[in-house]
């Protein structure tokens, strides 16, 4: 398997624009996590899905952020409108369900909002 | 609630030892440890599932005190390749939350 695949790797956009980040989890994994990493806040859990259903989105910072998982092999994280403070590295990770399973991370999307 | 790690940063010479601590205000059902090198994604090191469990991986080992809601990562005879940021992860009801991180730098 190619691992968790995220696109794009880098995104530079202007404030106010819509940004969509994409993630393809490892085939067979039924848990998917979106994280945001910044120097100030570390690795924050934004939302996680189990069997394509959003289970906990309490980490989503505000209504400008939304995430979907239309099927087992694809998820998106959308920011509309984007703001400079959204600049961060966004990671997607997938795992099998359960506390004894490791999470596999994608290479991340570095987002810069100017 | 995010687990708290200490220290925030460690600087070592090759061959020295280090301990990284992870403490949670909520019950820990399992503890994950990951290492992230600069510019890369976090990579899994190990999981501890039971209170008192200890695991080893090369010269990196960890312990888990379920009662105290704490875990510690031990790096013995550090190598240059150990440099990076270490995260503990608290896994409860399928939700994986990472600690504040500890940056480790190993110099020759």
Classify burial at A47, counting beta carbons within 10 Å of its beta carbon; exposed 0-12, middle 13-18, buried 19 or more: buried
The answer to whether residue B26 scores a pLDDT higher than 90 is: no
DSSP, res B79 = -
Angstroms from B101 CA to nearest CA on chain A: 7
Does B41 sit within 8 Å of A108, measured CB to CB?
yes
In 3D space, the residue among A32, A31, A10, A14 whose CA is nearest the CA of residue A76 turns out to be A32
Does A100 sit within 8 Å of B47, measured CB to CB?
yes
Q: Is A107 on the interface with B (CB under 8 A)?
A: yes
Q: How many helices (H) and strands (E) does chain A have?
A: 0, 11
Considering chain A, what percentage of its residues have pLDDT values greater than 90? 87
The pLDDT score that the predictor gives to residue B106 is 97
pLDDT, tens only, B46-90: 988 876 666 677 789 999 988 888 999 999 999 999 999 999 998
The pLDDT score that the predictor gives to residue B29 is 80
Q: Between B92 and B42, where is the model more confident?
A: B42
The pLDDT score that the predictor gives to residue A97 is 81
Does A105 sit within 8 Å of B43, measured CB to CB?
yes
Identify residues of B whose CB sits under 8 angstroms from chain A CBs: 2, 29-30, 32, 40-44, 47, 49, 87, 89, 91-92, 94-101
Q: Under DSSP, is residue A3 helix (H, G, I), strand (E, B) or coil?
A: coil
The pLDDT score that the predictor gives to residue A1 is 66
For chain A, residues with pLDDT lower than 50 are none
A41 Rama sector, left if φ>0, alpha if ψ -120 to 50, beta otherwise: alpha
């Amino acid at each position: 398997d190619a691992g968790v695949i995220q696109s794009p790797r880098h995104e530079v956009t202007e404030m106010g624009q819509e940004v969509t980040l994409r993630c393809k989890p490892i085939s067979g994994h039924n848990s998917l996590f979106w994280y945001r990493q910044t120097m100030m806040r570390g690795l924050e859990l934004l939302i996680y899905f189990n069997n394509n259903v959003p289970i906990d989105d309490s980490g989503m910072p505000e209504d400008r952020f939304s995430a979907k998982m239309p099927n087992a092999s694809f998820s998106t994280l959308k920011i509309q409108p984007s703001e400079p403070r959204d600049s961060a590295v966004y990671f997607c990770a997938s795992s099998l369900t359960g506390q004894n399973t490791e999470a596999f991370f994608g290479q991340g999307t570095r987002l810069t909002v100017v | 609630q995010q687990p708290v790690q200490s220290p925030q940063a460690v600087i070592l010479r090759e061959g020295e030892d280090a301990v990284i601590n992870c403490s949670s205000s909520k019950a820990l059902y399992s503890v994950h440890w990951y290492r992230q090198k600069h510019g890369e994604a976090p990579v899994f090191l190990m999981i501890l599932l039971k209170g008192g469990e200890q695991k080893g991986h090369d010269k990196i080992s960890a312990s888990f005190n379920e009662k105290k809601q704490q875990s510690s990562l031990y790096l013995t005879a550090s190598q240059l390749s150990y440099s990076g940021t270490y995260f503990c992860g608290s896994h409860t009801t399928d939700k994986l939350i990472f600690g504040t991180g500890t940056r480790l730098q190993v110099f020759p």
